[in-house]
Structures are given as C-alpha cells and as structure tokens.
Amino acid sequence: MGQKLRSEIPTNETWDLSSLYENNDAFYSTLTDLVQRVTDFNEKYLNQLKDVSTIESALHEQADLIIDVIHLSTYAELLYSTDTTDADSQKVAAQFSTTYGKIAGLLSFLESEILQLEEETFNALIKQSEYPKYLSLLKRQKPHTLHPEVEKTLATFSPTFSAPFELYGITKMLDIEFGTFEANNEEIALDYVSFEGDFEVHSNTEVRRNAFKKFSEALRRYENTTAATYNAHVQKEKIESELRGYDSVIDFLLEPQDVTREMYDRQIDVISEELAPHMSRYAKLLKRTNNLDEIRFEDLRIPLDPTYEPDVSIEGSKEYIKDALSVLGDDYMQMVNDSYDKRWIDFPQNKGKQTGAYCASPYGVNPFIFISWTSKMTEVFVLAHELGHAGHFNLANKYQNVYQADCSMYFVEAPSTMNEMLMANSLLKKSNDPKFKRWVISSIISRTYYHNMVTHLLEAKYQREVYRKVDEGEALTAPLLNEIKKKVISDFWGDEVEITDGAELTWMRQPHYYMGLYPYTYSAGLTIGTVMSQRIENEGQPAVDDWLNVLKSGGSKSPVELAELAGIDVTTDKPLKETIAYIGSLIDELETLTDEIE
C-alpha cells in the first residue's frame, strides 16, 4: 500500500500554521508590503550611517523587517516540506525565493556601511549597542568584506546561490521513482520515506537487504545529476571564500560558527580513532542477536532485539516525554504540552512529505516540529530531540533580541541531544527487566549515538575530504564522491562490516551538505549534551538552573562561553573523551545483558 495523500490525513495530526499566516493570501500580501517597507528603509538610511545613534535606530528598525523575513521564509518552507507535490505550496516557496534576493540586496548596505566605520567609532558602537555580540562577530568579518556594491550584488543573487539545494530537493523528492522490490514472495512499494522510516530498520533480513538494493539502484540512476548539483554548490562556496580572502573553504565556513579550526578537526579525528573500536563491538553484537551470516552496511541500523520494540501511539508518547523532560521545570513543560495541544507538531507520513525531522523556531512565534511518525519507540527519542530545539529557541527568542537569539551552529545540537539523554535516563529507571534494559540501552546506541556520532561523523569526515579536494582545485564527479564516501565508511568499520554496493551512494541522501559545516556539530552538541545530562542526573536543580540559563543566552555568547556556563570546557578534548568512554561502557553493559538473556 502506498502513502496517503496529504488531503487524506486527519487535521489534528498536522500542524497549524495560522500563528504565522491565516492562509496563502495573507502570506502574499505581507510579502508585497515588506518589499515596500524595505525600499523605504533603504531610502531613509542609505549613506546616512555615520554616528552611533543613527546606526542604533537603523538596527532597531531593521529588526522588525528581519522578523517578517523570518516569518515569511518559515511559512514557505513549512508549507512546502509537508507536501512537495502541491502546486500552491511550490508557488509560495518559489515566490519567496525570488523576492528574497531583492529584499537582501536592499538591506545589505547596513552591514557594509557599519563595516566601513573607523576602529574607534566601531568600538564605541559595540560598547553602547543593544547588539554587542552581533556587532563583534560582524567586526571580525571586516578583513573579508568586499565593496558595498559587490556585497549588494551578492545579496541580490542569493536565491540563485541557493538553487543547488533546491534542485537537490526536487531530484530527491519529486523525480526519483523507486518502484517496488520483491521479498518473501511479495511485491512491496518503495519510496524515500518508507525506506528511511521502515525498511532501513526492518528486522526481516530479506526485506531490508532487498529494499536497500532496490533503493541504491534507483539512487544510482541520478548520481551524475546529484553530483553536478553538489559540485555547483561547493564551487560557489570556493569562489566566495577566495573573493573574501580566506585560505580555505573550511575557514570561510567556520567563521560564522565562532569556533577554531582545532575544535572542528578534533571532533572528527578523535571520534574516528576512539569510537570506531566500540562501534565494531556493537556491530558484532547486532550480528549475534539477529543471527546474521555476516553484518553488512545495510544491517547496521536494525534493532539489537528484533522481538522487543514497544509500539507507541502519538498519545502514548506524551507520557514518556513528560516523565523525561519534567525535570526541566514547569515553564518548559508548558511549552511541551502546547506543542501537542496547539498543533505545533506535524506527525503524519504522507506522499510528497520530505524525509527526516526538524524544528523551526521563528522569532516571536511558537516553534514548529516536523516528524514522520512510525509508531516505533525510536520516534519518541526523535520527538524529545526536536522538543529540545523548541525549548531552546523558545527561551532564546524570549530573552534575546532577534540579532542575538540564534546560537552558533557548533552549539545548536546540544539542547536537542541533551533531551535524548534525559529520555534514556528516564526509561532506564522504569524497569529492571534485562530485556527492557537492553532495549533502552540499545536504543540510546542505535538512535542517539549512532545517528549523531557515527552517521553525522562519517558525513563530516566525507565533507572535510570534499573541501580539501575543492581547495586543491578539483571538480567533484559522482565516481570521486563515491570513492571518498566508500573510503570513509570502510576506514571506520574496518573488516567488521561488509561494505555492500550502494553504501558509497549514501552521500546522495543528506541535505546537510548544503548547509555549511553542519554534520560535525551533531557530535559537538552531543558531547555537551551527554556531560550536561550526567550533571543533571547527579546534581539535580543547580545543574538544571545552569542549563536553563544557557538556553536563555541564545547567541549572545560564543559556543565556548555557553559550554562554560554549563560547567563544560570544550577547549580541551576531555568532554569528548568522557563521552566516548561512556558509549564504551554502554556497549559493555549490552554485552553483559545479552550474555545474561541468552
């Protein structure tokens, strides 16, 4: 049976976007109005930003314009992501995309003029401003800033620059047809959502492996188009990094994250070296408990105990979430309850809905959570994760202005992965039954740690290799990308895992590559999240208070300062090594429990 159409889905399972705009007409009229307001703003302040008080009022007025841009872009994205086949949603997304370039071009003068200030005036501005962190980060870009007219041109072209990402999504969600595959003498329909939601973790080996084979064959037909699309994206980044005078694309992409190259490399290198042996032991366990002839790449996501996977309804998930997150206090739980009761979450799987899960937190409006509910317990971890983003930005948006609400990408996954750890700790207290305990711990390994520290680590390592090639002047082709990806996977798993044909195509599945140096930040966030959840477990309320202060700080501090507020020093490898040792101890426990059960 294929996926339901969006129109067949019960409304109460979908999100309600009316806190953004009542309908598409309201969206279009706001967009038209905004272009006029931005034009007026440009005329009022262009070439006038000479003194601190004029700049402050311009920044203040621009804040309202930025908030509208955020609301418009969020609405367009949310509408489109739940049904990419819908013509009206396509039109809304396209209209925003084309108009955005004009808006960005008209607003670009503000930063350009601030960047031309004399050192003394700039320092005085930072000292007096409501937006010191934003301005300090801006000041750091000074050596890499181009002539204001060039900056305006680049800003106006920005929709064209994001075209590769859009093309990638269109190929992935609209063009690739997967057809059916055969397993256990039946024909089974296949698409992106069912593969990533069901078949990839299916406990029947024939179903899982045949689905992977069919999925890979379909991807392979599009590998050249997808490689050319990705190449267009990274070459654009390379050109801009050179124009701005950076030594490498990696330095250019790390700049806005406010972290050092050493912090970036450390996450990738230490995990590659020290986590791999633990994960090889986990792969051996999977092979043993699932009675497999060999463990292949496409077997790595299966449950450790295929006979024990509690089903959870959407209603039932509330209880688990409440038990796990109520430690964070009444205000936080109010946000969690509202997410369910006020339809801030989009649950269903439907035809044309994008894959994965995310949380959008537009400034001044409630958060929105995107998920594809499979009724498996793993979805409760996903939901706890996305509610972590929601809780974070709910507080950051409340306590910070729009310029300083968004934190660095390096830190952004800490609140979400911390919630997954709270979920795990909460479940472990529920029962001493060895099968239940083993299921909980294996869920932590297969969901939280595998996803954030293996899947995303292998993406990060692949991505770093890609940018090294680009820095050396190479163009990316499908054979080259396949080769890089295969080597990264093989190096990590060694001889323990059979790297099946098709594994090398995994790079085709991930939109993160179009979002800068995003993949490595998952492990950085989870490192902070792990240490923080242990502090909460051991210290209780004082640790919770520290954490809530961190969440309220939004982007007003650097990632190093945010971690420091949480009592964690990320300038050293200590938290990372502690986290890896903790994963090792969980796998020790899985081995012991498995011996006991068998």
Give dist(CA 92, CA 80) in Å, integer: 8
Residues in the chain: 598
Contact criterion met (CB below 8 Å) for 383 and 369: yes
Type of residue found at 201? V
Give dist(CA 417, CA 184) in Å, integer: 38
Give dist(CA 460, CA 11) in Å, integer: 38
Give dist(CA 414, CA 412) in Å, integer: 6
Tell me the average confidence (pLDDT) per consecutive run of 10 residues in the chain, 598 residues long. Answer: 84 96 97 98 95 95 97 97 93 94 94 94 94 95 93 91 92 91 95 89 94 97 96 96 96 94 96 96 95 96 86 92 96 97 95 90 97 88 96 97 95 94 91 90 90 93 97 96 97 95 95 93 94 95 97 96 96 95 96 94
Helix/strand/coil for 368? strand
- Cα 445 to Cα 1, 83, 185, 506, distances in angstroms: 32, 32, 33, 20
Q: What's the pLDDT at 418? A: 94
User: What is residue 291's DSSP assignment?
Assistant: T
Give dist(CA 255, CA 145) in Å, integer: 13
Q: What's the pLDDT at 1? A: 53
Q: Are strands 358-360 and 368-370 parallel, antiparallel or unpaired?
A: antiparallel
- Alpha carbon dihedral 249, 250, 253, 254, in 10-degree steps, equals -150
Give dist(CA 29, CA 443) in Å, integer: 47
Which among 36, 25, 168 is positioned nearest to 95, based on CA atoms?
25
- Helix 478-493 to helix 456-471 angle (10° resolution) is 130
191 backbone dihedrals φ, ψ, rounded to 5°:
-150, 180
Q: What's the pLDDT at 197? A: 82
Render 264-276 in DSSP notation, one character per residue: HHHHHHHHHHHTH
